[in-house]
């Protein structure tokens, strides 16, 4: 009996005064990363903005044709950054999710701008301890009450394009 008590004490006493350090708060890191990325655009800081995007990053815009590599998006947006007239997005109501080992994060957010409230979603990857943006999708939100009219307008637009080709 004394041996069992001795073993229990030997196991419990060394750990009694120690607490395991909490894991890094990756949710906070990702939240702040996305905020810094949006802020870099707001500040017309193309070095920071594009530096936060992975070399293989894809940016998907609101137009059907807007599926850009990082380099294509950089070239398209260069005049905006050069003139200092870049979009001003503020992410709100952001939801962030992770894979099991927290090396991949995906998120969705409301994107508030002077043009209204949009939807953004993206994927980040943590490589060598650093986050990098792999994909971002910017979508226009359409109130349900306006959906039928928007669908009609898009159909007319698409039919006009088909007719002109």
Instruction: Tell me the backbone φ, ψ of residue 2, rounded to 5 degrees.
Output: -60, -35
Determine contact, residues 141/156, Cβ cutoff 8 Å: no
Kindly report the number of other CB atoms within 10 A of residue 48's CB atom. Answer: 13
Return per-residue pLDDT of the chain as tens, 165 residues.
555 444 433 434 344 443 333 457 899 999 999 999 999 999 999 999 999 999 999 999 999 999 999 999 999 999 999 999 899 999 999 999 999 999 999 999 999 998 999 999 999 999 999 999 999 999 999 999 999 999 999 898 888 877 777
Spatial distance between the Cα atoms of 85 and 79, rounded to a whole number of angstroms? 8
Q: How many CA atoms lie within 13 A of 88 on its CB side?
A: 6
The neighbouring-strand residues paired with 47 are none
Query: Distances in Å between the alpha carbon of 161 and those of 52, 68, 133?
Result: 36, 22, 34
Spatial distance between the Cα atoms of 162 and 152, rounded to a whole number of angstroms? 15
Which domains are delineated in the chain?
A: 23-160 (3.10.450.50)
Cα 94 from chain centroid?
9
Determine contact, residues 121/110, Cβ cutoff 8 Å: no
């Amino acid at each position: 009996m004394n041996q069992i008590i001795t073993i229990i004490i030997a196991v419990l006493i060394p750990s009694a005064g120690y607490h395991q350090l909490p894991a890094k708060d990756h949710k906070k890191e990702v939240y702040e990363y996305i905020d810094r990325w949006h802020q870099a655009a707001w500040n017309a800081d193309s070095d920071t903005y594009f530096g936060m995007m992975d070399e293989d990053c894809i940016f998907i815009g609101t137009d059907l044709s807007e599926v850009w590599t990082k380099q294509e998006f950089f070239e398209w947006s260069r005049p905006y950054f050069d003139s200092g007239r870049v979009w001003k997005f503020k992410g709100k109501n952001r939801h962030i999710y992770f894979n099991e080992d927290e090396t991949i994060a995906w998120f969705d957010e409301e994107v508030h701008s002077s043009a209204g409230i949009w939807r953004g979603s993206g994927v980040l990857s943590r490589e060598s301890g650093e986050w990098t943006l792999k994909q971002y999708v910017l979508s226009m939100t359409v109130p349900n009450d306006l959906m039928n009219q928007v669908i009609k307008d898009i159909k007319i637009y698409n039919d006009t394009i088909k007719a002109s080709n």
